[in-house]
Structure formats: C-alpha cells, structure tokens
A and B are shown apart, each in its own frame.
Chain A
Amino acid sequence: GNSVTQMEGPVTLSEEAFLTINCTYTATGYPSLFWYVQYPGEGLQLLLKATKADDKGSNKGFEATYRKETTSFHLEKGSVQVSDSAVYFCASNDYKLSFGAGTTVTVRA
C-alpha cells in the first residue's frame, strides 16, 4: 500500500515569510499526489495536485513538484499571508487516498 510522511508542526511564521512543508511518499505504483488545506471549522479543500513525475501543481501562490527520484512532493509558498493559517495535509492516491499527519501553520501579522 501507499503511505505519506510529512513534517509535523506546528509551524509559526511572520507575514511575507517563505513557507516549506516537506512531504515524502511510499507507493507500489505511480500515485497521484495532492495537497489539501483545512481552515478552522471547515472541511478539506484541494489546494493543488500532480499526477505524474515532474508535474508541478500550483494554486493561490502555493507550488509543489512531483519528484519521483526523491519520492517527494514538498509544498512551498514565497510570501505567506495571515489568511494562509490552516492545517495542510499531503496525500497520495495509489488505489486509496492516504493522508499525512497534517501540519498546522500559523502566520502572524
């Protein structure tokens, strides 16, 4: 089966700082990879995805590149805002969606 390991937080940043959340996966096949974001009191929202090696997913200033050689899908944003405060989940879908443990990000003004 597949599994996902992501860096655990919490992560606290100042506005306009650079954000990186590391994520690595194990899979028997060639999974699709996702980042989901969960804002307080809400469900999960798809932030970005990549379906094959070297694909780059991007949305709302966030980016992640599917790296098959390092089995990684690290999330990055160059300049975070207070509104980016949320829990971020990396996920891998081989035949079933597997989530990482989640990383709580707090951005301070």
Chain B
Amino acid sequence: DTEVTQTPKHLVMGMTNKKSLKCEQHMGHRAMYWYKQKAKKPPELMFVYSYEKLSINESVPSRFSPECPNSSLLNLHLHALQPEDSALYLCASSQRGDNSPLHFGNGTRLTVT
C-alpha cells in the first residue's frame, strides 16, 4: 500500500471543464511534487513545494495551477486542458526535498476529450 494517496484514480474531462486532483501524505514530509507521465516514458517534473511554498515550476502552462493548503495536502487545479494533456499525474513527497528519496502515489489517470 502506498503512503501517498491520490484521488481520483481516473478522471475524464472536457476541454472547457474545471477539475482538481488531490494528494495527501501523513509521513511528515515537507516537500511535495507533481509529475506528469506519458505512456512508456519517465515522469516529468511539473512543480515542487518545499515547506508549503512553491519552489520549482518547470515552465508548466498556466492551465495547470498547483496549491498546497497545508503540509499534508497538495492539489492540482485543471482548467481549459488540451487532449495532449492526457497522461498519468503522479504526486510524490520526500522528507526535506534534498537528496531524500521520493515516495510516489499511484497517480490519477487523466483523459481530456
């Protein structure tokens, strides 16, 4: 069982919809991450939060908007997505955001129609 919980597991949305992905961890980790993974490819980093502050934005389009309400929760708000945004979205956490290993959730499989 993963210690990082992501909801929903699957999401289908139209290009005009607004939806949110949610991620929760209770390991006391202070760094949280969003990754995007296309089929048969490695995960690509999108955002990093360190101590609840956005520390890295990998030039992600503004139709993706991250939010970190507290140290245990991480959201990704989606608006006006494109079909090419369809992918597996993975949340991860680590103790401090340095060289400590990442713990991943099982992801949300997003399909944009």
Contact = CB atoms under 8 A, between A and B. Distances in A.
Q: Decide whether A and B assemble into one complex.
A: yes
Nearest to A48: B101
Interface in A1-60: 31-32, 34, 36, 41-46, 49, 51
In which size bucket is the chain B interface? Answer: 10 to 19
A95 B42 CA distance: 18
Interface of A: 31-32, 34, 36, 41-46, 49, 51, 87, 89, 93, 96-97, 99-102, 104
Given A42-B106, A43-B106, A96-B56, A101 B41 contact: yes
Given A102-B40, A104-B40, A46 B102 contact: yes
B80 interface: no
Contacts of A41: 106
Interface of B: 2, 4, 6, 40-43, 45, 56, 90, 92, 99, 101-107
Given A32-B99, A49-B101, A51-B99, A100 B106 contact: no
